[in-house]
Chains A and B, each alone.
Chain A
């Protein structure tokens, strides 16, 4: 493969406010190649695909298509340049039928139908409205729509994630043949089986940066994991846990029994004790969002029970959860904060929630509680008039301070260190441990595996909406957590072969994973 690259991107960068989605990404794809794009959650894969296909504009970078510099300004322009994406989220217009969707994008109908059959859906009615079509089929239709225009470069973002095994297989077949016919495919997936079965090379992204390009040969998986995790892989425990570990004694503070939420969360059970920090480990979209939302009273579970101090509870509004002493700190600070209001008002917000507290505010008392919470979290209050003027880390602290001030017994922390500097992170770890030390309990989801070891007493691993493992934190290290998160059995230490084992439950057809 010495041909000139079909697509060559270098130095691509993209910022969302303070978040750098991409810093310095590069990607070079040759004709006839199936090229894997790999990276942990949030590494910037989807962002790169969106930039390459004109769905968003890059802040910097150079993109060559067939050696020519092209400024792809819109999806339509990308299409003209022969680049066709299948994004991570379905792209059919929900309220139009399939035929209209084809007309909208100028896709020829007959080739499309042929591809749909080829991809294993023999009986599609193209008069069906997209909204009524199951997600897996929609993904296939997205692909067929792209294939129908015979693109030079096909970009597939977690195409197989939502597919049952039989459909996934067809997709892999078709993709392979695309490569054989001299076109190029960029293939994003978290499933190593697929990568090793399908791809020629892989580009690995970490924190928005291209950190390596490797040929896919047997045994390369370990190397890829290494690249994906970077220096973090060798981290050892640092957590200074002094607190009592009384998880086994008495009634659990929070009990979750066979909890189900739609199709996203199936049969989750675990306990959380007073004075304990339990870490939830999961890849993106394994149902952890739904779990936290259900515990926070934001969505209603479709089955199972939640018990607080041994009593079954039903939440129909977050206020119910709060009354039961469960406080939720969402991952997205914008979700938790009234950005135009002051630090004080944001921290005091739960005080006014109940009807009986709608009257005059005892300003002195409120002040005292707010100030003590601010001090406890060391929030930089130079810009306290409006929370939106605080730095990201300080905003994050405000979302936690609120529940410290309200003295919540159990805190549900969803990825609280996202986009936060090292120092602040340390403070938050310390705070969570302190809370546990005071007998509070914390359920802690983090996308950074390393934090699990620093903060948690126990690890709850969720994959495909199920708890696949629960174990004390001492029994693990980061690679093991990584494997666990990928749904690989514990104990199968560093045995790379297993990563390629098609019988592993990764492609279990009942597993709806990695939805947006």
Chain B
């Protein structure tokens, strides 16, 4: 128990912070209800996938600067493929776009291995390439999305046996998020591959000596990052109904949430839960500031300051750890 607390202490603290924020929200806006929580869940969705994408590579000891660009590219690809197409066609588009994210992510990893250029430079270069590709797919926001996909993240699902009062607090967007992340993350976490990802992030040398295929594992970590980013791109298209070629603020947000979520930028440590809770925290801060009618640019300052402070704090901790 004590070990669980020690290990999950950071996440527990974040949860507590989230609860406090919810209480504050309720105080500012006594009418804050299940519908508003649904809005929060939908706002969280693309950020959560972005941060999942970042988390995998950071755990593997890397960083991915192309997350937001990957989301933009997958988003415009999905939106332009579905434009004017039938509802059923989307059944093909979704796996196609996910596979595309996976493959392009793997390209990131392969380039890092083959060129031996540091990950930060490779993914920066890929940021431009993916952005450019997104602009070639759609030079302006547009496209369309199948209705059933939109429906997938709006409203709630009636869960038999659950009273409506509880059910109302389970927005579909949240369920989609949980299902998509769990389907990939839980088996991964339990598999040898998952262990290998932690292992190369923790100590590449020890991992190699333990028989971990380091290069292959690194490529797969980037591929998974691409896959999560593709989920994020799809989530964007599902919530807006269009694809936008200019990347949103997801790169910085993902780094901020990763660090805030207790994943060390050095690799090997942390999980997915912390960063996801961190995303909820950051989004709820924005909601609260809007409820208080504070200039949204102040929110940008606060988000930036949280990020810089947390990254500095994280760097400070790593520095102390190294000494």
Which residues of A are interface residues toward B (Cβ below 8 A)?
55, 74-76, 79, 85, 87, 90-96, 100-101, 103-106, 127-129
Contacts and interface: CB of A to CB of B under 8 A. Distances in A.
Contacts, number: 61
A104 B192 contact: yes
B208 interface: yes
A61 B212 CA distance: 25
Nearest to A104: B195
Listed from nearest, the 10 A-B pairs whose CB atoms lie closest are: A76-B211, A95-B202, A95-B268, A93-B199, A104-B195, A93-B202, A91-B209, A75-B211, A105-B210, A93-B206
A129 B208 CA distance: 19
Given A104-B210, A104-B212, A94 B202 contact: yes
B231 interface: no
Contacts of A101: 210
Nearest to B4: A127
B165 to A, nearest CB: 39
B229 to A, nearest CB: 25
B228 interface: no
B283 interface: no
A104 B199 contact: yes
Q: Which of B192, B209, B213, B268 has the most CB of A within 10 A?
A: B209
A87 B209 contact: yes
A101 B199 CA distance: 9
Q: Give chain B's interface secondary structure class.
A: helix
Nearest to A53: B209
A90 to B, nearest CB: 8
B196 interface: yes
A434 B196 CA distance: 56
| Max chain B Cβ within 10 angstroms of own Cβ: one of A76, A79, A96 | A96
B8 interface: no
Interface of A is mostly: loop
A172 B203 CA distance: 29
B207 interface: yes
A36 B300 CA distance: 65
B208 A75 contact: yes
Given A74-B211, A75-B208, A87-B209, A95 B195 contact: no
A75 B210 contact: yes
Interface residues of B, number: 20
A103 B195 CA distance: 8
B286 interface: no
A104 B268 CA distance: 14
23 contacts: A55-B209, A75-B208, A75-B210, A85-B209, A91-B209, A91-B210, A93-B202, A93-B206, A93-B207, A93-B268, A94-B206, A95-B198, A95-B202, A95-B203, A96-B198, A96-B202, A103-B195, A104-B192, A104-B199, A104-B211, A104-B212, A106-B211, A127-B3
Contact of A96 (B199, B211, B213): B199
B203 A93 contact: yes
Nearest to B266: A95
Contacts of B195: 96, 100, 103-104
Contacts of A79: 211
A237 to B, nearest CB: 43
A105 B211 CA distance: 7
Given A103-B192, A104-B192, A127-B3, A93 B198 contact: yes
Given A94-B203, A95-B268, A75 B198 contact: no
A195 B193 CA distance: 41
A93 B210 contact: yes
Contacts of A92: 206, 210
Given A91-B210, A93-B210, 12 more contacts: A75-B208, A90-B206, A92-B206, A92-B210, A93-B198, A95-B202, A95-B268, A96-B195, A96-B199, A96-B202, A104-B207, A104-B211
B128 to A, nearest CB: 28
B210 A55 contact: no
A322 B3 CA distance: 45
A132 to B, nearest CB: 10
Contacts of B196: 104
A95 B271 CA distance: 12
B208 A55 contact: yes
Contacts of B210: 75, 91-93, 101, 104-105
Nearest to B321: A131
Interface in B212-263: 212-213
Nearest to B7: A129
